[in-house]
Amino acid sequence: MVRIIGFLVGLGFVGVLGYSLIVGAIAYTTEEEPGPTAYDYHHHAREISFASDGPLGRFDRQQLQRGFQVYREVCAACHSLEYVAFRNLTDLGFTEAEVDAIADQWPIQVPTVNEETGEETTRNAIASDHFPHVYANEVAGRAANNNAYPPDLSLMTKAREEGAAYLYSLLSGYEDPPADLPEEFQPGTGLYFNPYFANLNIAMPPPLSDGQVSYADGTEATVDQMSEDVAAFLIWTAEPTMEERKSTGWAVLIFLVFLTTLAFLAYKNIWRDQKH
């Protein structure tokens, strides 16, 4: 009896296995080719090098000033720099007087409280202030931008994969949708095709156009140049102490090499007369 039950159980397993094999084979042979996905049209960031790249990299102050100009004249209308103070601009080569003027003339005022009445009011920014928020809150930001909230740019090169190269590619990468782009990936109302954006369609209109700003140093303000400059500026906003970090790193490395050499020579001196 036990043998019969064991045989039936084994036969059942074989039957289930055979059924699964047949169904799988039929599904494989009749399966349709998968359709295109957004990833098929997505581009990785273009290769670009910045003066600050590498262990010996240093910021190009002239480029940072151009990048700040692009931010001030174009990006600041929608994007904040929450973690940057006006006084930090002296690191870009601006004088204290120039920084004071930039803060005082900033189009967005700083919220404060009237000391006499206790009521909320606003005032012009001063050098010690951080860049004020563009919108009062996220709801206001979405309402002004087709329900898309413009992110703060302070740490953007750290927050996005491929960093500054991604921002450079995104800003300079707007183009018409390719002819073979499927309907489901076509930009809808209020969206713009950009192959460097994750889902191909972005709510931000192309922010840059040739000649949009006038550089004081005479550099031609092409879309590509402005994209590179503002990306370099945002590298600085994300890590303004990068040069100090690199200098400290090299000093520590040299010290460790010296200490290791000294320890090795001491070891040789102490144990030179000892037999192993």
CB of 103 closer than 8 Å to CB of 82? no
Evaluate whether residue 228 is within a structural domain: yes
Residues 6 or more apart whose Cβ sits within 8 Å of residue 81: 71, 130, 131, 152, 153, 154, 237
pLDDT band at 114 (very low <50, low <70, confident <90, very high): confident
Q: Is a pLDDT exceeding 80 seen at residue 159?
A: yes
> Cα separation of 113 and 121, whole Å?
5
Model confidence pLDDT, tens digit, residues 70-113: 999 999 999 999 999 999 999 999 999 999 999 999 999 998 88
Evaluate whether residue 223 is within a structural domain: yes
* 201-202 and 192-193 strand pairing: antiparallel
Structure tokens given for 30: 């009749």
Residue 153 burial (CB < 10 Å; 0-12/13-18/19+)? buried
Q: Phi and psi of 167, rounded to 5°?
A: -65, -45
> Residue 239 belongs to a domain with what CATH number?
1.10.760.10
CB of 167 closer than 8 Å to CB of 236? no
Q: Tell me which amino acid residue 14 is.
A: V
pLDDT for position 185: 87
Is 78 annotated as ligand-binding?
A: yes
Evaluate whether residue 54 is within a structural domain: yes
Evaluate whether residue 65 is within a structural domain: yes
Work out the percent of the chain whose per-residue pLDDT is above 90. 66
Domain that holds residue 72: 38-84+149-244
**CA dihedral for 162, 83, 213, 205, sign (positive or negative):** positive
Is 44 annotated as ligand-binding?
A: no
Evaluate whether residue 196 is within a structural domain: yes
pLDDT band at 268 (very low <50, low <70, confident <90, very high): confident
Lowest mean pLDDT segment, chosen from 62-76, 111-125, 173-187? 111-125
State how many domains the chain has: 1
Evaluate whether residue 9 is within a structural domain: no
Write down the residue that tokens 């084979």 correspond to.
25
Write down the residue that tokens 């095709």 correspond to.
193
Model confidence pLDDT, tens digit, residues 230-243: 999 999 999 999 99
SS3 sequence of the chain? CHHHHHHHHHHHHHHHHHHHHHHHHHHHHHCCCCCCCHHHHCCCCCCCCCCCCCCCCCCCHHHHHHHHHHHHHCHHHCCCCCCCEHHHHHHHCCCHHHHHHHHHCCCCCEEEECCCCCCEEEECCCCCCECCCCCCCHHHHHHCCCCCCCCCCCCHHHHCCCHHHHHHHHHHCCCCCCCCCCHHHCCCCCCEECCCCCCCEECCCCCCCCCCCCCCCCCCCCHHHHHHHHHHHHHHHHCCCHHHHHHHHHHHHHHHHHHHHHHHHHHHHHHCCCCC
Evaluate whether residue 235 is within a structural domain: yes
Evaluate whether residue 212 is within a structural domain: yes
| This prediction's pTM | 0.82
